[in-house]
Amino acid sequence: MNPKLIWANYSVKSAKRTHEFYTRLGFISNTPPKSTDLEMASFFFGENKFVIHFFEEGTSQIDKYIPEGSNTDGIIFTLSADTEKEVQEFEEMVKEAGGQIIQPLKRDENNYYGFAFSDPDGHKFNVLLMDNM
């Protein structure tokens, strides 16, 4: 098999809340523009436009794969940054949008600069500047 595309599917409590959160962080929506009853929020991440779909619990086919009430899935996505200032500004945007900082802004043991956060449903991301590579 040689898949042409790959994307991620997450379960969320409210697709509307998720859409508002990621819009406030500046991500480009992939949600169908004529969606009046928002049951899924979808966004492009990164220059290659990796897609993450966020399906509202009880409204989609992915419910059978994700345990009810699950707030984690063992995956953490990493978002790359180009400058320390960009990392700092994005951390502020996450806070203002209602995300939770789960690892404060710092340089880690590899000298990467960044922080980790979770969205309102507990999905985890870290933001890293890998300027020593």
Give me the tens of pLDDT residue by residue for the chain, a chain 133 residues long.
776 778 898 889 999 999 999 999 999 999 877 665 678 899 999 999 999 999 888 887 677 766 655 555 567 888 999 999 999 999 999 999 999 999 999 998 888 899 999 999 999 899 999 886 5
pLDDT at residue 40, as a whole number: 87
pLDDT at residue 77, as a whole number: 87
CATH architecture of 7-129: Roll (3.10)
pLDDT at residue 129, as a whole number: 92
pLDDT at residue 79, as a whole number: 92
**Domain ranges in the chain?**
7-129
- Identify which of 76, 57, 54 has the alpha carbon closest to the alpha carbon of residue 9: 54
Query: Roughly how many angstroms between the first and final C-alpha of the chain, as a whole number?
Result: 33
pLDDT at residue 71, as a whole number: 59
